[in-house]
Amino acid sequence: MSKREDSIATLDLTHRLRRLRRTQALRDLTQETFLRVEDLVFPLFLVEGERKREEVPSMPNIFRYSIDNALKACEELQTLGIRAIDLFGVPLVKDERGSEALNPNGLIQRGIRAIKKEFPDLCVMTDVALDPFTSHGHDGLVKDGKILNDETVEVLCEMARLHAECGADVVAPSDMMDGRVGAIRKALDEAGFVDVAILAYSAKYASSFYAPFRDALQSAPKFGDKKTYQMNPANADEAMREIELDIAEGADIVMIKPAMTYLDIARRARERFQAPIAVYNVSGEYSMIKAAAKMGWIDGERAMMEALLSMKRAGAKLIFTYFALEAARLLRQS
Ligand code: PBG
């Protein structure tokens, strides 16, 4: 590049980092982190019925699908190159013990079978926790206002085994009960599902950012909060202990959740552990960007890509995100 007549050096600088930011080509050549379509996992909400596609009020452009329409959504995901979904469901009946979670013909069970039948190459992950199924909205069994640990783990093992039987590739316990990863691994192995992987929601915080998700699944806790099992947002060392235990118990992938307000945890985990790290870019994080963009206060697309890239930079390998389709479309264009 020729000397620019209009810029006369007045500072005697050896290093000018702006040199490598001067053109798009130089910026591309020196880019350190990349977002790939293959990194994205799309959380998919199922409802009972047929031909249903209901928009979640607090999550623009995110829908609850009946199984027939979920298959259409999977088709689109595959066309865009997205490799995985994470299944959640709104069951017709909720009760104290979340019994519907163990119904062999329950919504999620039928969903897994239908999706794996039509899209055998799509990686189907399933949420293992009781909250969408319990009338009280907690992730575990409740007695005298307390969330029971070991009794809940027993049910989760059954649930994971059932998902595996239906064809799930990965089961993802999101309940934060102690010891559930080891117990689920044992239950899967004993039932012959040695190849079904466990993605553990290892460091899941008691966060305000789950509100739109609870709207989607009608699963907000009816009493109290989830602070006796989900983590205190102030704690980072504790997250390392949770992750370490889950890996020791047999977790194949460990997750940090939410993503945007916990990137420091992802970074620390990345430096300390070899297991692949996932982050969950949760509903509230999605809706915040959508709402600000709708108001014209930020550029929604740029904010989305910046947020997702920051998760990769922090050390995440997989990103669970409601932005998956939109981001994939953009990534394919560029
Ligand atoms: C519960 C579960 C939650 C989410 C995933 N699994 C909510 C909660 O703990 O109340 C939240 C996901 C999101 O906000 O997008 N097992």
Q: CA dist 65 to 47, 181, 236, 281, Å?
A: 6, 29, 36, 21
Alpha-carbon distances, residue 269 vs 131, 181, 220 (angstroms): 27, 18, 29
Q: At what angle do helices 107-118 and 150-166 cross, to 10 degrees?
A: 30
Provide the mean pLDDT of the chain: 96
Q: What is the pTM of this model?
A: 0.96
Q: What residues does each domain of the chain span? A: 34-333
Least confident of 92-96, 275-279, 298-302: 92-96
- Ligand 1 atom closest to Cα of residue 209: 14
Atom of ligand 1 at shortest range from CA of 284: 14
Q: Choose the residue to mutate in 131, 180, 321 for probing ligand 1, maximizing ligand atoms within 8 Å of C-beta.
A: 131
Q: Which atom of ligand 1 is nearest to the CA of 212?
A: 14
Predicted local confidence at residue 334, as pLDDT: 76
Give me the half-sphere count of Cα atoms (radius 13 Å) on the Cβ side of residue 31. Answer: 12
Pocket of ligand 1 (CB under 6 A): 127, 129, 131, 139, 174-175, 210, 213-214, 226, 282-283
Atom of ligand 1 nearest to the CA of 204: 9
* pLDDT tens by residue, 227-266: 999 999 999 999 999 999 999 999 999 999 999 999 999 9
Tokens of 138: 């907690």
Q: What tokens does 88 get?
A: 């959640």
Per residue in 17-37, pLDDT (tens digit) is: 999 999 999 999 999 999 999
C-alpha to C-alpha distance for 193 and 165, rounded to whole angstroms: 8
Q: Look up tokens 């007695």; give the residue.
A: 143
275-285 pLDDT, tens digit per residue, is 999 999 999 99
pLDDT digits (tens, 9 = 90+) for 202-227: 999 999 999 999 988 889 999 999 99
- Which pLDDT belongs to residue 3? 63
Q: Which of 52, 146, 226, 257 is catalytic?
A: 257
Dihedral angle computed from the Cα positions of residues 290, 208, 184 and 319, in that order, rounded to the nearest 10 degrees: 30
Best residue among 223, 225, 282 to mutate for probing ligand 1, ranked by most atoms within 8 Å of CB: 282
CB atoms under 10 Å from CB of 141, counted, come to 22
210 CA from centroid of ligand 1 (Å):
6
More confident residue, 328 or 9: 328
Residues in contact with 12: Cβ distance below 8 Å, sequence separation at least 6, in sequence order: none
Distance 203 CA to ligand 1 centre (A): 12
Hunting for tokens 């947020």 — which residue is that? 307
**Ligand 1, residues 85, 94, 141, 210: which to mutate, most atoms within 8 A of Cβ?**
210
| CA distance readout (Å), 31 to 17, 20, 27, 309 | 13, 10, 6, 11
CATH class for the region spanning 34-333: alpha beta
Tell me which residue has its CA closest to atom 8 in ligand 1. 210
Question: In this structure, are strands 170-173 and 84-90 parallel, antiparallel, or unpaired?
Answer: unpaired
pLDDT at 4: 58
From 204, 226, 290, 312, the catalytic residue: 204
- pLDDT at 140 > cutoff 60: yes
Let me know if 317 is a catalytic residue.
no
Count Cβ atoms below 10 Å from residue 195 Cβ, excluding itself. Answer: 9
Closest ligand 1 atom, CA of 322?
15
Residue 1 has what pLDDT? 53
- Is 173 buried (19+), middle (13-18) or exposed (0-12) by CB count in 10 A? buried
Separation of alpha carbons 154 and 119, rounded Å: 31
Going from the C-alpha of 190 to that of each of 3, 157, 178, 180, 184, the distances in angstroms are 72, 11, 20, 15, 10
Three-state secondary-structure class, residue 285: helix
8-state DSSP, 70: H
Q: Are strands 146-147 and 142-143 parallel, antiparallel or unpaired?
A: antiparallel
DSSP run (H or E) holding 132: none
Average pLDDT of 93-103?
Answer: 95
Active-site residue, 204 included: yes
Structure tokens at 293: 């963009």
Nearest CA to ligand 1 atom 7: 210
